[in-house]
Amino acid sequence: MEFLPVLYAVILVVLTVVLTVVGVYLVLVLMEARRTLLKVNTTLDVAEAKLNAITQPLQRLGGMATGLTTGMKVFETFVTWLQRTKDRE
């Protein structure tokens, strides 16, 4: 029997085993990466919910301040109108 075909067969078997092991390891790494990304996504969802819970009252406070400012301007306009009406009499 010749040496070269036997060597090719051995190399082919070893290469097949190595590539199979690398493929299985790659699948395991990708599964772990998927689990990690799911945990990160869950953490970011929780953080976003907490941040929204904190910012909503501050936004309402800003809206209330804007409403108060508008009310004060209306009141000043009304007082100015009363003064002009009083001065005319």
pLDDT per residue over 23-81, tens digit each? Answer: 999 999 999 999 999 999 999 999 999 998 888 887 787 788 888 888 888 888 888 88
Q: How confident is the model at residue 89 (pLDDT cuts 50, 70, 90)?
A: low
Q: What is the pLDDT of residue 44?
A: 96
In terms of residue numbers, what domain contains 60?
1-89
Q: What is the pLDDT of residue 45?
A: 96
CB atoms within 10 A of CB 35: 10
Q: State in Å, rounded, how far the first CA of the chain is from the last one.
A: 129
Q: What is the pLDDT of residue 1?
A: 67
Total domain count, the chain = 1
